[in-house]
Structure 1
C-alpha cells in the first residue's frame, strides 16, 4: 500500500546483525539461468552487513530482515539461502531474526495473483454463465455485487484489468472499511467511487481491485481466500510462519512491531517521535478486506522458500513437485501496463511495466521482477533476477525504511553479479530530502481571508455522507481563532462533539495543532484514518489533513484482554509500552463547502484525496459537486 508517504520513504534499520545460511535440495535449472558455484562469495557478504548496519544507524531505523536466494550446485540441496538480521523487532528490544514475522503489505498481491492463476487452471471451475474461467473473464460475469460508476468499465473490466491496475479507478484508499460489512458489501459499493480515467487508458495502482479478486475463492468454491492460500501455497511450501491471521501471528510471539513517527508534522517542521504501533493496525477478525492487497504476515525464512519456488518456475525447491503452474508464474510477470509514467528514476534502470502483483524492468542490462510493500509501520521489497537465478528479500519495521532497503538490495545484487558498486544511499538521501523540502512548501493562507459565519454554522449543523466513504459529522474546535467573537457564532449544540473532542487522542492532536484559523475535526473511522482535520483557508475552502491514531484499537484490546501489557507476543514487557500514536498523513488535501440550494449542498474533497495516478488520469471538471473527487452530500439538518 502507498498512503501518506511515497514508496521511497521507507526506512532503514540498525543494531546487532546475525547471518545464517540454510540449504535445501537441488533441482535442474533452465539452461538460461546462471547457477551459483562454490567458488563465489557469500550472497550477503561481511562488507554488506557492515554497510547495512551503518545505514541503520544513519537512518535511525529499528530493524531489518534480509534473505538472499540463489541456485548452488555445490550444496546437496542445490540452493543457497542466506539470512541477515539487524536491529530490534519489538518494543522490548527483542532482536530481529530470520523467523521474525513482518506484514509484507503489497507483496501479498503476488499471492493473490497466483491464487487467481490456480483457479483459472482448475479445469472444473466455470463462471456464472457456464464458461471456462480465464484471465479475460469479465467481472460482471463472476460477481452479482460488481459494479462501477463508469458503465463501460463495469461491463468491460476483466480479471486481468483488475490485476494490472487498468480499470480507470484511482486508489480511493480512504474508502476502506475493515469492519463495516462483508467483502461482498464492499464490492457492491465500488459503483459510487468516481473514476479518473477510462478503462485501460492508464495505469492507476488500486488496492480495492485486489480485495475484489480475493472474493473469487468464496464465490467459486465457497472457501475463504486465506484458507485457499494456506491450502495451495503456504502448506505445500511448508511456510509455517505465514498467515493472514493477526491473532495467530500475535500468539506465536514472533510478530514484530511496526514503528512510526508519533505527532510528526513535516509541513510545519515537526519530526515526531519514533514509536511502535501496538497493536497492529488491522485487528483480529478484520482481516478479510485487506487480505488480498496487503494481508500476508510472514518471515524472511518463509519468503526464501517462496522465492526459490518462483525462481524454479513454480516447482517446489525440495521435491520438484509443481506448486504453481509455470504458465501462471510467467503470466503474472508479463508486463501489461506501463507503470510510473514509463520514466526510469535512475540511468541504470529501464522503464517499468506491471503484470499482476509484479513489476518488471531492467537493471544495468539485467532483468528484474519485483514488488514493494507498505503497511503503516512496515516496508518490504521482494526482487528476483530470473536469468541470474537470484532473489533478494528485504523487510523493515520502519514506516520510512525504503531508502535503506533499496540501498542494501542493490548492494547484494551488485556483489552477486560482480558489478561495480553504486552509492545508492546518497541517491536515495537526495530523493528523500527533496521530498521533505517539497512537503514543507505550501501555499500560505491569504492575509485577509474571508470567513463566513453561515459556512461555519452549516458545517456544524449538518451531517454529510458518501455511500462508500461513510458519514461525516464535523465538530468545530472551540478556541480556534475567528475574525469575530466566538459567542456570536451561534453554533448548534453538538453532544457527540463534546465527547469526541475530549478523547485523549483528540486532545493530543489539538494541543499540537495551530488553531489560528477556524478549525474542524471529524471522526472518520476507516482503514487508514481515524480523523479528518479541516483548517480554514479562504472563503468556503479548507485545508484537509487525514490523521490516524491507534488509541481506539488499544482501548478495545484492553477491554478484551485487560491490559496492553498482555500483548507479550509483540514484546511489550512491563514498562515498555510507549502509549498511543497520532500520525498525520503527509499530504494536504482540499475541502470546499458547496451550497447551491437544496439540491446541491455538501463537501467537495479535492487535491488528490482520491489518489489519482498515471499520465492520462484526469481531475474532475466543472464546479461545485462536479469538481469533487469525492462528494459528501448533506444528508440531514441535524
Structure 2
C-alpha cells in the first residue's frame, strides 16, 4: 500500500531539505577551497537517502585547513532535523580509537606489560580471561594479530553478548572469556578475517593495563586533547549530553514508514563499537590523523598508518584493481591514484563512514540513523571524493549500479539457498521424524548460548527463536527442507530483513526424541564460522 500523497511529499521534502550549518575558510597553505554542500549535492543526497530509506544523515568534510558540514533529513521524526552536531552510534569506527589508545600506551613506555610493543602476547596481560579454543593461539597471539584481524577467528558475532539471560549486563572480561568456546576457521596469521571479538579483547587489555574503563581512557588520552566534547563511550552519557542523540530507524516496507528502534547500551560493545559521536567531532579526529599532530608522537602516528595484513581485493574489481590492507582499525587502498584510509561502522539502526586521503589533507565523515545506511553513505562519500579529485564522469565508480547488482545477487542467493545448502535434497520432501511440538524447547551451546525454540503462527505453524541476549539481535525462523534438515532464516532486528540463512539438522536419540540442533553457519567451501551443535537441555 502506498503512502498518502501528502505524507509522502512531506517525507521526501524533509529528506531533500539541507539544514543550515556553519563553515570556515581559514586557508594558510596557499590552496583554494570552497564548500561542496551545494544544491546539486543536496538533491543527490536526498535521492540516495530515499532509495536506501534513510531518515537522517550528517556529513562533514575536512579540506586542507577548512571544515564544511551539513545535515540532511531528520535525526528524530517527525521534526528534529539532522545537523553536524547530531549524535550517532559510530559502530566499528570505534576500532581505530581503541587501537590508537594501545599505540599511545606503547609509545609512552610507561607500562611494563607492553614492553614488547605490538608483539606483546595477549595472554601475558590477561591470561585468566584470554583462553582460545586452541592452546597455540592462547600462548602466541599478539596485540598486532588482534588489531589486524589475522588471528584465524571468523566473526562469531552471534556469540557476542550484551546481557545474561537474567538481563544483567555482560562485562568485558566475561565477553573475552567466551572465546575459549569458539572455534577458529583458519591458521593464525595466514588469512584476514574480520572479528569484532578481537577488538573487545584489545579494549579489555587497555582497561587492565590502565586500571580504568576504556571510555575514560579514550576521553582522557584522545577525545579531550582533541576537543571532542561530543564523543562518548556509553549511551547514558550521550542521552544526557546537550547535543541531540538521533533515533535509530528501520524501514517497514509493508507499512511504508520508518519504525523507531530501542536505544541499547554501547558499553558492552567495548573496543569493537562503544563510540557515540558527531561528524563535527570526527573532523577533529580526522585532522589529527591527517596532520599527524598531538596527542600522538610521530612514532605513534607511523604505527597507526602502518599496513599489517593483506586483505585481498574484497571489492571484486568494482572499485578498481589492487588489494586492500588492514592496520590499526583502518583499511587502506589506492583509488584513482590516491591512497585512501577508510572504515565503516554499523549498529542495529545506525551507520558511520570515515574516509581519509592523507596526501590531500582531505577527509569525509558521514553518519546516519539506519542500519542499511552504510551503502547510502558510501555513495555520498564517493561523490564528494570524486568531485574533489576531479574524476571525469566516465571514470567514476558506479556504486548505484554495483549496489543494485549486489542486492539482486543477495535476492537470488536467498531464492536458491535451499539448493546451496542441500543440493541433493529429494524432489518430494521426506517428512520430519519429529513434530514441531517435539522440537520446541531449549538448546544450548557454551559459546553461542541458549536457543529457545517456540512455535508461532507465522503464515502457519512455524518454529522460531527470538534471541535477546546477543549484541547483534537476530530472530530465527525455521523452514523445513526434508527429513530432519531445515533452513533457518536469521532476521536482523535492526533492518527487519533476512541477514543470512543457515542450515540446521535436528539430532534424534535412540528414543526418537530431539537431542540437539546442529547449525551450519557457513556454506561448504566458504570461509567462516564452523558448525555449532546446540544440545537440548
TM-score of the superposition, structure 2-length normalised? 0.86
How much has 1:530 moved relative to structure 2? 5.3
Structure 2 Cα separation of the partners of residues 594 and 296 of structure 1: 42
Structure 2 Cα separation of the partners of residues 341 and 458 of structure 1: 47
Rg larger in 1 or in 2? 1
Structure 1 Cα separation of the partners of residues 248 and 291 of structure 2: 32
What is the CA deviation profile of residues 425-473 of structure 1, one whole-angstrom value per residue up to 9, with x for unaligned ones?
A: 433443344234324423378653222344645523x532111221223
Secondary structure of the 2:185 match is: coil
How much has 1:300 moved relative to structure 2? 1.1
Q: Which runs of 5+ in 1 are unaligned?
A: 1-12, 28-34, 72-78, 265-270, 316-321, 478-509, 550-580, 621-628
Match of 2:155 in 1: 171
What is the CA deviation profile of residues 200-223 of structure 1, one whole-angstrom value per residue up to 9, with x for unaligned ones?
A: 121110111111111123211210
Match of 1:604 in 2: 518
What is the CA deviation profile of residues 40-82 of structure 1, one whole-angstrom value per residue up to 9, with x for unaligned ones?
A: 44344443333223333444431211111022xxxxxxx2000
Judge which range, 411-420 or 238-247, deviates more.
411-420
Match of 1:16 in 2: 17
Match of 1:260 in 2: 250
**Does the C-alpha gap of structure 1 residues 238 and 597 become closer, same or farther in structure 2, counting only changes over 3 Å?**
farther
Structure 2 Cα separation of the partners of residues 110 and 273 of structure 1: 36
Secondary structure of the 2:288 match is: helix
1:65 to 43, 48, 58: 58
Match of 2:532 in 1: 630
How much has 1:99 moved relative to structure 2? 0.4
Match of 1:521 in 2: 464
How much has 1:36 moved relative to structure 2? 6.4
Are positions 1:536 and 2:522 aligned together? no
The answer to whether the 8 A contact 2:521-2:528 is kept is no
How much has 1:349 moved relative to structure 2? 5.1
Structure 1 Cα separation of the partners of residues 434 and 376 of structure 2: 50
Are positions 1:475 and 2:454 aligned together? yes
1:51 to 44, 51, 56: 44
What is the CA deviation profile of residues 568-619 of structure 1, one whole-angstrom value per residue up to 9, with x for unaligned ones?
A: xxxxxxxxxxxxx882433111111123669x9421111439xx9xx98377
Secondary structure of the 2:500 match is: coil
TM-score of the superposition, structure 1-length normalised? 0.73
Match of 2:83 in 1: 97
1:126 to 112, 115, 120: 112
**Does the C-alpha gap of structure 1 residues 57 and 467 become closer, same or farther in structure 2, counting only changes over 3 Å?**
closer
The answer to whether the 8 A contact 2:332-2:342 is kept is yes
What is the CA deviation profile of residues 143-183 of structure 1, one whole-angstrom value per residue up to 9, with x for unaligned ones?
A: 12101112222221100111111111111111111123321
How much has 1:26 moved relative to structure 2? 7.8
The answer to whether the 8 A contact 2:318-2:402 is kept is no
Secondary structure of the 1:394 match is: strand
Match of 2:309 in 1: 337
1:215 to 204, 210, 224: 204
Q: Which runs of 5+ in 2 are unaligned?
A: 1-13, 165-169, 420-424
Kindly report the root-mean-square deviation, in angstroms, between the aligned alpha carbons of the 2 structures: 2.9
Structure 1 Cα separation of the partners of residues 481 and 410 of structure 2: 22
The answer to whether the 8 A contact 2:444-2:450 is kept is yes
The answer to whether the 8 A contact 2:307-2:325 is kept is yes
**Does the C-alpha gap of structure 1 residues 87 and 547 become closer, same or farther in structure 2, counting only changes over 3 Å?**
same
Judge which range, 144-153 or 402-411, deviates more.
402-411
Secondary structure of the 2:109 match is: coil
List aligned pairs for 1:76-155, cutoff 5 A: 79-127=65-113, 132-143=115-126, 144-155=128-139
Match of 2:225 in 1: 236
Match of 1:427 in 2: 401
Secondary structure of the 1:243 match is: coil
Structure 2 Cα separation of the partners of residues 21 and 404 of structure 1: 24
**Does the C-alpha gap of structure 1 residues 53 and 616 become closer, same or farther in structure 2, counting only changes over 3 Å?**
closer
**Does the C-alpha gap of structure 1 residues 425 and 189 become closer, same or farther in structure 2, counting only changes over 3 Å?**
closer
Secondary structure of the 1:587 match is: strand
Q: Which has the higher contact order (CA 8 A, sep 6+)?
A: 1
Are positions 1:414 and 2:391 aligned together? no
The answer to whether the 8 A contact 2:489-2:500 is kept is yes
The answer to whether the 8 A contact 1:91-1:276 is kept is no
The answer to whether the 8 A contact 2:250-2:495 is kept is no
Match of 1:289 in 2: 268
Match of 2:190 in 1: 201
Secondary structure of the 1:395 match is: strand
Structure 1 Cα separation of the partners of residues 201 and 54 of structure 2: 35
**Does the C-alpha gap of structure 1 residues 395 and 582 become closer, same or farther in structure 2, counting only changes over 3 Å?**
closer
2:527 to 601, 617, 632: 617
The answer to whether the 8 A contact 2:55-2:258 is kept is no
**Does the C-alpha gap of structure 1 residues 167 and 596 become closer, same or farther in structure 2, counting only changes over 3 Å?**
farther
